[in-house]
Amino acid sequence: MDKFMQEAIKEAQQGLAEGGIPIGSVIVHNNKIIGRGHNRRVQNGSPILHGEMDAFEDAGRQSAQTYKESIMYTTLSPCAMCTGAIILYGIPKVVIGENHTFMGEEALLQSKGISVKVLQNQQCIDLMQGFIDSKPQLWNEDIGE
């Protein structure tokens, strides 16, 4: 498996261990992780710290060129909010662990010329499905239902 997706999965596992939602993400520039994060909505009481948003926060202020040369790896198909940030910062490629448990805004990403690759990684599916089964109310809160 891709080493960067493995790092995103580690982030998701860390989020779960902290009592949060197991979604992780890393931003890679020139084959190096410049930002990593996991969903911290529960831990920080934040309405916006999804895995991708946390990775952007960790990456900090980067040049537009850096983002235009980066790849976002995320364990789950990005929601509308995270998709908006990916589009805003011009990330050209997104590698998604799975979209079986949640289908995000992949069509919107593609409509903006962003390359989307979905792995349907069983580890990502099992992590999310286990969480959804055990904490459906928290999951529904996370996706705005």
Residue 52 a catalytic site member:
yes
Dihedral sign, Cα of residue 49, residue 53, residue 54, residue 60: negative
Phi, psi of 36 (to 5 degrees): -140, 150
- Buried b / exposed e along 26-64 (16+ C-beta atoms within 10 A): bbbbeeebbbbbbbbbbeeeeeebbbbbbbbebbeebee
Which one is catalytic: 11, 18, 52, 69? 52
Annotated catalytic residues are: 52
